[in-house]
Structure 1
Amino acid sequence: MPSKPGRICPCGFKVPGGERCSCQLRRDRERKARHDLKRPSSSARGYNPAWQKESAEFRRANPSCRRCGAPATLVDHIEPHRGNMKLFWNRANWQPLCTPCHSRAKQAEEKAPR
């Protein structure tokens, strides 16, 4: 099976096929850091001790990941609440997920164009 050919990055370095140049990785890290500086803290977004308590209770009642059946490690909001506290606390909008399902599949779905 043929692999992607290498390329020359705009910075001048040769990059193997399918990989990213270190300058691109650095720019991505810097962009994400700038975004995080503007983002409210997790407790300001509602993930405070009250959430921790409710989340733990929900996981005890729903111990398996809704997607793959593995042990659930977190509670996910089915519809992103985006600061809407009524939606944030609506248990009908919660689902138990394992970290891999939340980190991969769910995040990819939320990033997809609608």
Structure 2
Amino acid sequence: MFQCSRCGVLHADTSKLVADHTIPHRGRPELFWDLTNLTCMCSDCHDTIKQREDQAEPIGVWD
């Protein structure tokens, strides 16, 4: 069983889960490949709440 870091729901079916970047990588390979920057999130939370949050930030690479 895996738990969504956002809503806390437990999922046995891993096809309903996404490895999400806690800090959006925005094209930076050091954040993209950093395993400590990943969290388990259900696809419902990732595809709605998290995407809205990420899209609210300016587009592009920044420090």
The answer, yes or no, to whether TM exceeds 0.5 is: yes
The alignment covers a number of residue pairs equal to 53
Structure 1 residue 113: Cα displacement = 4.7
Amino acid at match of 1:80: P
Which protein is richer in helix relative to its size?
1
Query: Which runs of structure 2 are paired with 1:64-79 in the superposition (5 Å)?
Result: 64-70=3-9, 71=11, 73-79=17-23
Normalising by the residue count of structure 2, what TM-score does the alignment of the two structures yield? 0.70
Percent identical? 40
Normalising by the residue count of structure 1, what TM-score does the alignment of the two structures yield? 0.41
User: 2:55 maps to what in 1?
Assistant: 111
Amino acid at match of 1:101: C
Whole-angstrom CA distance in 1 between matches of 2:19 and 2:33: 11
Which has the higher Rg, Structure 1 or Structure 2?
1
Which 4+ stretches in 1 moved above 4 angstroms?
none
Higher relative contact order, chain-length normalized (CA < 8 Å, sep 6+): 2
Whole-angstrom CA distance in 1 between matches of 2:22 and 2:34: 10
